[in-house]
Amino acid sequence: MLTRVEDLLQEVEAFNSSNPDEIEQFRIKLLGKKGDIKAIMAEFRNVPVEQKKEFGQKINILRNAAQDKINELKLAAAETSSTNHGLDLTMSGQPYELGARHPLSVVRNEIISIFNRIGFSVSEGPEIEDDWHNFTALNFPEEHPARDMQDTFFIDPEIALRTHTSSVQVRVMENSTPPIRTISPGRVFRNEAISARAHCIFHQVEGLYIDKNVSFADLKQTLLYFAKEMFGDKTKIRLRPSYFPFTEPSAEVDVSCQICNGKGCNVCKHTGFLEIMGCGMVDPNVLESCGIDSSIYSGFAFGMGIERIAMLKYQVNDLRHFFENDLRFLKQFKTAY
Ligand code: PHE
Q: CB within 8 A of 55, min separation 6: which ones?
A: 1, 2, 5, 44, 47
- Does one domain contain both 51 and 185? no
Residues 115-127: tens digit of each pLDDT: 999 999 999 999 9
Residue pair 279/301 in contact by the 8 Å Cβ criterion: yes
Measured at the alpha carbon of residue 307, what is the angle toward residues 123 and 120, in degrees to the nearest 5?
A: 25
CATH number, residue 221: 3.30.930.10
pLDDT at position 135: 95
Centre of ligand 1 to C-alpha 31, Å, is: 47
162 lines ligand 1 (CB under 6 A): no
Same domain (yes/no): 203, 158: yes
The reply to whether ligand 1 has any atom less than 6 angstroms from the CB of 301 is: yes
| 48 and 113 within one domain | no
Statement to judge: residues 186 and 314 lie in one domain: yes
Among 52, 85, 118, the domain boundary falls at 85
In a domain, 90, yes or no: no
Per residue in 239-286, pLDDT (tens digit) is: 999 999 999 999 999 999 887 888 888 878 899 999 999 999 999 999
CA dihedral 282, 273, 146, 149 (to 10 degrees): -150
Q: What are phi and psi of 34, to 5 degrees?
A: -110, 25
> 136 and 77, same structural domain?
no
Residue whose CA is at the smallest distance from ligand 1 atom 4: 164
For residue 15, give its domain range. Answer: 2-85
Given 85, 115, 141, which residue is the final one in a domain? 85
Nearest atom within ligand 1 for CA of residue 300: 11
Q: 103 CB less than 6 Å from ligand 1?
A: no
The verdict on 108 and 79 lying in the same domain is no
Please indicate, yes or no, whether residues 61 and 111 belong to a single structural domain of this protein. no
* Number of domains composing the chain: 2
Q: Is the CB of 206 under 6 A from ligand 1?
A: yes
Q: Does residue 279 have its Cβ closer than 6 Å to ligand 1? A: yes
Q: Which domain-ending residue is among 54, 85, 116?
A: 85
Ligand 1 pocket, residue 186 CB under 6 Å: no
Q: How far, in Å, CA of 66 to CA of 37, rounded?
A: 10
pLDDT band, very low/low/confident/very high, at 336 (cuts 50, 70, 90): low
* Strand blocks (E) in 150-290: 154-156, 159-161, 180-189, 201-211, 237-244, 247-256, 273-282
Is residue 207 included in any domain, yes or no?
yes
pLDDT at 122: 98
- Asked if 161 and 258 sit in the same domain, the reply is yes
Statement to judge: residues 74 and 165 lie in one domain: no
Is there an atom of ligand 1 within 6 Å of 254 CB? Answer: no
74 and 115 together in one domain: no
303 shares a domain with 214? yes
Lowest mean pLDDT among 69-78, 122-131, 170-179, 301-310: 69-78
Q: What's the pTM value of the predicted model, to 2 decimals?
A: 0.72
| Atom 6, ligand 1: residue with shortest CA distance | 303
